[in-house]
Structure 1
């Protein structure tokens, strides 16, 4: 048994306490515990392609890839795993019954082997950078081709991996293909000792997320409900400590724009009620998206987005966006969902999880970076005072998406080219060629 395996078992009490603590705050965590230890329904008799995406953001990023795999391999069953209930909800919303969902097992050898015995995938696809030494090792031992896609490695993550460099190298050595987002990510992987021949720079799948056809219509409908003439600012995917700063900036802005609406969307559903209470203590008239679905009264000045799966719809109804996780040292959230609907982006100083994307957005004039509450209020005010500037920034945001499409086609093409390594059948090359021609 490896040192990591021993360590993982020693961490079991902490894992159980952490899971129970999460369940107290968000009851959905009480459900389906056996799946987290590999007790899933058997998929025997099915040819399975397994895709893992940890939570909501990763599911959305991998959605086009999952759709493409389902299209290319109609005789396979798509198994999608997540770690969080919100990720599970996102899978159900996006794919319904077209895929099978379970929670991924914790990285205990027994749980991993039980999961793989029952799932028996022909291919494992892990979205973004996940730390699963036992799971990856078990895939290699069983001859299951392992592809890591949309891999990013921030400077902070790189430093963390260096602390367990031996385990990290052994873990990545089990991968047959690693699709890095950028050259910087690829170089960091090499610096960790990952074999160069397994690494390819593919771009970011987040640029290939397809928008629902009625998204902009839905955004316009929301705007009519909120008030077409009032300025609307959305602060999305916020973390603890950020809401206070956002409300401080909002107080400054209200003195200039007394009819302004703030759409405040906490990152984690277990914090919805706490954020509502915070806003009310500040003296604001608060509505909740889950309850107040019709026209908002004019006196409502804060709408808390306490629903799941409609963040992009909320973006589409706003004038200006703030990206959460950036006013506190969390590393920021994905700004591309706002960019895709032509909404200018503002973020704080901490965007290390999206350093290349944020730099591209700043360079193109699609975003502004702020370092204080006053600067945040000034940036929002600037976009409201200068509609032409706001529209120009929105166009720049949208062009950022359009100009960086293609990671999905490149990733699928590379999978098909490496047939001996990842076990696809020759009959699937035709679909690869069709997709390549479509992307030209």
Structure 2
């Protein structure tokens, strides 16, 4: 019966791929209308052309957040194995741009092919990585099957699995189990993540913590944040960071009732939405400027500063008095609040933080973050904090201590990878 269930799951997965395959070019073209990067490097998405490198340590991070989370692990691996080349793969143009900015000086960068059996076989046969590292929870059945056939050890690093995601994987239980059992070692963020992964079939699971705690705020961005704050003037600053579709309209409606001396800095999560969010600010009747066109001081009449820039989130946190971390007012699971805590910025989050449940709960328990119910509650909580310097200072200090207390995951995960590199299996 288990073999029959696995055959059924594989059949369903391959049938879904077969149906989707003709739609891939249409999807790339449609997305390319908003984000030109989707129109480039199509050959890589099918594993066509020359291999970017062979015999590398291979790290796959689907997009921006995962690519940034890999930074401390990359540093640890380069220190331990400077002779081994690095290959980074991703799925999105913004992920690729992030990889190029962070690692382009010393690593090879490409798109991971779509998870068809032929494309994955070609990719792995041509690149022959010594170890593959999948960031967070990226389970691609054909990739893992091909890696196992070629005896390429795979690591699932910084693994997290919410209850919602676990239910999704459980719909194809035999296939999920087969995938997880092809992974040499799983480095989970928390005990809860480890428990869910073990229940789904993972064999070797270690709780190593969250790599994002090991990302140190870059001094250059902290300095940039201080310079911005001088430009913005002596007024309270509320940051809405990494906001998602469905949040900004409610945020702007609530913010319109806030006293005019408060500045809202609004930073959408996805760059392709910058123009759409600018339209929402205009519709709300709020005077605004864009970070990309701001030159000099920000006028006192400006109510909203639209953060339409990439790679500057630490600077935004450093320049703000209070930060709301988005994706949490709507049921999208929230975004990473560790960066805000690590620069001592008090944090507010909405009710939906299931993608970062462990880190969010720890931050709330530490006194570094507060939860709100909706946009109106967010503005009420923000105004109370903006009026209470002592409360902000307590939350900021709690955030710094919270971030420092949970560091160390990078060295643990690097140790697991080193064990595979030196075990003679690769």
Q: What TM-score range do you get, normalising by the shorter chain?
A: over 0.9
SS in 2 for 1:131: coil
C-alpha separation between the residues in 1 aligned to 2:65 and 2:424?
26
Contact 1:145 1:421 in 2 (8 A): no
Identify the residue that residue 302 of structure 1 maps to in structure 2.
304
Q: CA deviation at 1:422?
A: 7.2
Identify the residue that residue 257 of structure 2 maps to in structure 1.
252
Identify the residue that residue 230 of structure 2 maps to in structure 1.
224
**In the alignment, is residue 208 of structure 1 matched against residue 226 of structure 2?**
no
C-alpha separation between the residues in 2 aligned to 1:67 and 1:413?
13
In the superposition, the TM-score normalised over structure 2's length comes to 0.94
1:98 to 106, 112, 132: 106
Contact 1:62 1:205 in 2 (8 A): yes
Q: Which moved more, 1:289-298 or 1:231-240?
A: 289-298
C-alpha separation between the residues in 2 aligned to 1:132 and 1:361?
32
Q: CA deviation at 1:40?
A: 5.0
C-alpha separation between the residues in 1 aligned to 2:73 and 2:415?
12
Q: CA deviation at 1:42?
A: 2.0
Instruction: Give ranges in structure 2 of 5+ residues lacking alignment.
Output: 1-6
Identify the residue that residue 199 of structure 1 maps to in structure 2.
205
C-alpha separation between the residues in 2 aligned to 1:419 and 1:105?
24
**In the alignment, is residue 236 of structure 1 matched against residue 241 of structure 2?**
yes
Identify the residue that residue 19 of structure 1 maps to in structure 2.
28
Structure 1: which 4+ aligned runs deviate by more than 6 Å? none
Cα-Cα RMSD: 1.7
Matches within 5 A, 1:273-312: 273-312=275-314
Contact 2:44 2:113 in 1 (8 A): yes
In the superposition, the TM-score normalised over structure 1's length comes to 0.91
Instruction: Give ranges in structure 1 of 5+ residues lacking alignment.
Output: 425-440
C-alpha separation between the residues in 1 aligned to 2:261 and 2:424?
57
Q: CA deviation at 1:360?
A: 0.8
Identify the residue that residue 121 of structure 1 maps to in structure 2.
129
Identify the residue that residue 3 of structure 2 maps to in structure 1.
none
Q: CA deviation at 1:207?
A: 0.7
Contact 1:150 1:180 in 2 (8 A): yes
Identify the residue that residue 145 of structure 2 maps to in structure 1.
137
Q: Which moved more, 1:3-12 or 1:259-268?
A: 3-12
Q: Which moved more, 1:66-75 or 1:354-363?
A: 66-75
Contact 1:40 1:102 in 2 (8 A): no
Contact 1:54 1:81 in 2 (8 A): yes
C-alpha separation between the residues in 2 aligned to 1:421 and 1:199?
18
Identify the residue that residue 80 of structure 2 maps to in structure 1.
72
Q: 1:18-76 CA deviation, whole Å, 9 max, x = no partner?
A: 322221122221111211111253245x4311101111111111111112222322222
C-alpha separation between the residues in 2 aligned to 1:277 and 1:40?
42
C-alpha separation between the residues in 2 aligned to 1:147 and 1:274?
38
Identify the residue that residue 167 of structure 1 maps to in structure 2.
175
Contact 2:221 2:312 in 1 (8 A): no
